[in-house]
Structure 1
Amino acid sequence: MNYRRLASLALVVGAVICGLMGADVFGVQGNQVKKSAPSVVNLPTALWSIRRAPQPLIDAVGSLRLKSSLDSLLAGTNSCFIVNEGNASRAQGNPDVVLIPASTMKMFTAAAALNALGADAHFDTVAKVSGSEVSPSVPNLYLLGGGDPLLGTTTFRETLDKFAATRGAPITSLEKLADQIKSSGVKKVSEGIIVDDSRYDTTRFVTGWKDSYRSDGQIGPIGALTVNRGFAQDAVAPVDDPALFAAETLEKLLEERGVAVSGSAKRGRVPESSTSVGSVSSVPLSEIVEEMIRSSDNLAAEMITRELGLKVKNEGTTAAGVAAISDELKSLGVDVSQLSFSDGSGLGRSNRASCQSLVEVINTGERSGFSALWSGLPIAGETGTLTNQLKDTPLAGHLKAKTGSLAGVTGLTGLIDVRRPLRFSLLINGEFTEAGGVDLRSQAAQIIGAFPDAPGIDVLSPIPAGT
Structure 2
Amino acid sequence: MVPEVLRRPGLRWRGASPARRRTVRFVAVSTLAGVVAAAGAVSAAGPWEAGQRRAERVRAASAPRPSAGRDDDRPPAAAPVLAAPAGPPATAAGVTAVLQPLLADPALGERHSAEVIDVLSGERLLALDADGAYTPASTVKLATAAAALAALGPDHRIDTTVVESPEGIVLVGGGDPTLTAHPGGPWAGLPELAEATARELRARGVDHTRVAYDLSRYSGPVLHEIGPNDNLAPVTALMADEGRLDDSDHGPAARSADPAGDAARTFARLLADRGVRVDGEVTEGRAATGARRLAAVSSPPLSALVERALTNSDNDIAEALARQTALAGGRPAGFDGAGQATAARLAALGLPTAGLHLADGSGLDRGDRVSADFLAHLLALAAAPAHPELRPLLTGLPVAGFSGTLRDRYPAAAARGLVRAKTGTLTGVNTLAGTVVSADGRLLAFAFLADGTRDAEAAQRALDALASAVAGCGCSRAG
User: TM-score, normalization: structure 1?
Assistant: 0.75
TM-aligned CA deviation for residue 443 of structure 1: 2.2
Please tell me whether residue 228 in structure 1 is matched to residue 246 in structure 2.
no
Instruction: Give the conservation status (yes or no) of the 8 Å contact 2:209–2:278.
Output: yes
Amino acid at match of 1:288: L
Partner in structure 2 of residue 147 of structure 1 = 175
Please tell me whether residue 198 in structure 1 is matched to residue 198 in structure 2.
no
Change (3 A) 1:273 1:65: closer
Deviates more, 1:268-277 or 1:358-367: 268-277
Say which of 144, 165, 183 aligns to 1:109. 144
Instruction: Give the conservation status (yes or no) of the 8 Å contact 1:106–1:345.
Output: yes
Partner in structure 2 of residue 285 of structure 1 = 302
Please tell me whether residue 429 in structure 1 is matched to residue 451 in structure 2.
yes
Instruction: Give the conservation status (yes or no) of the 8 Å contact 1:79–1:94.
Output: yes
> Which whole-Å deviations, capped at 9, do the CAs of 1:50-98 have from their partners, x for residues lacking one?
xxxxx99995663242232232225653111112233243322111111
Partner in structure 2 of residue 77 of structure 1 = 110
TM-aligned CA deviation for residue 418 of structure 1: 4.7
Instruction: Give the conservation status (yes or no) of the 8 Å contact 1:407–1:433.
Output: no
Q: Which runs of 5+ in 1 are unaligned?
A: 1-54, 132-138, 158-169, 458-467
Instruction: Give the conservation status (yes or no) of the 8 Å contact 2:88–2:476.
Output: no
Q: Aligned with 2:292: secondary structure?
A: strand
Please tell me whether residue 391 in structure 1 is matched to residue 404 in structure 2.
no
TM-aligned CA deviation for residue 435 of structure 1: 3.2
Instruction: Give the conservation status (yes or no) of the 8 Å contact 2:358–2:369.
Output: yes
Instruction: Give the conservation status (yes or no) of the 8 Å contact 2:244–2:255.
Output: yes
Q: Which runs of 5+ in 2 are unaligned?
A: 1-86
Inter-partner Cα distance in structure 1 for 2:207 and 2:456: 49
Change (3 A) 1:272 1:111: closer
Instruction: Give the conservation status (yes or no) of the 8 Å contact 1:342–1:350.
Output: yes
For 1:179-218, list aligned pairs within 5 A. 179-186=195-202, 190=208, 192-201=210-219, 203-207=221-225, 209=226, 211=227, 214-215=228-229, 217-218=230-231
Say which of 125, 128, 140 aligns to 1:90. 125
Partner in structure 2 of residue 28 of structure 1 = none
Change (3 A) 1:260 1:233: farther
Inter-partner Cα distance in structure 2 for 1:343 and 1:287: 21
Q: Aligned with 1:142: secondary structure?
A: strand
Instruction: Give the conservation status (yes or no) of the 8 Å contact 2:211–2:283.
Output: yes
Inter-partner Cα distance in structure 2 for 1:76 and 1:233: 36
Inter-partner Cα distance in structure 2 for 1:190 and 1:433: 59
Inter-partner Cα distance in structure 1 for 2:289 and 2:360: 33
> Which whole-Å deviations, capped at 9, do the CAs of 1:369-427 have from their partners, x for residues lacking one?
11111111111111111122113222221111111111111111111125143211111
Please tell me whether residue 120 in structure 1 is matched to residue 152 in structure 2.
no
Partner in structure 1 of residue 429 of structure 2 = 409
Partner in structure 2 of residue 66 of structure 1 = 98
Inter-partner Cα distance in structure 1 for 2:138 and 2:263: 27
Partner in structure 2 of residue 262 of structure 1 = 279
TM-aligned CA deviation for residue 248 of structure 1: 1.3
Please tell me whether residue 447 in structure 1 is matched to residue 475 in structure 2.
no
Amino acid at match of 2:168: N
> Which whole-Å deviations, capped at 9, do the CAs of 1:174-227 have from their partners, x for residues lacking one?
2211121122134877564200010111511223x2x4xx34x20111011121
User: TM-score, normalization: structure 2?
Assistant: 0.73
Inter-partner Cα distance in structure 2 for 1:408 and 1:189: 57
Say which of 359, 365, 371 aligns to 1:354. 371
Instruction: Give the conservation status (yes or no) of the 8 Å contact 1:156–1:228.
Output: no
Inter-partner Cα distance in structure 1 for 2:128 and 2:377: 16
Inter-partner Cα distance in structure 2 for 1:255 and 1:58: 65
Please tell me whether residue 330 in structure 1 is matched to residue 353 in structure 2.
no
Amino acid at match of 2:244: F
TM-aligned CA deviation for residue 285 of structure 1: 1.3
Amino acid at match of 1:197: L
Instruction: Give the conservation status (yes or no) of the 8 Å contact 2:137–2:365.
Output: yes
Change (3 A) 1:59 1:272: closer
Change (3 A) 1:64 1:105: closer
Q: Aligned with 1:184: secondary structure?
A: helix
Q: How many residues align?
A: 379
Instruction: Give the conservation status (yes or no) of the 8 Å contact 1:313–1:321.
Output: no
Quote the sequence identity (%).
30
Inter-partner Cα distance in structure 1 for 2:360 and 2:464: 26
**Higher Rg of the two aligned structures:** 1
Partner in structure 1 of residue 45 of structure 2 = none
Deviates more, 1:339-348 or 1:173-182: 173-182
Please tell me whether residue 370 in structure 1 is matched to residue 414 in structure 2.
no
Instruction: Give the conservation status (yes or no) of the 8 Å contact 1:188–1:261.
Output: no
Q: Aligned with 2:390: secondary structure?
A: coil
Inter-partner Cα distance in structure 1 for 2:262 and 2:451: 38
Please tell me whether residue 240 in structure 1 is matched to residue 257 in structure 2.
yes
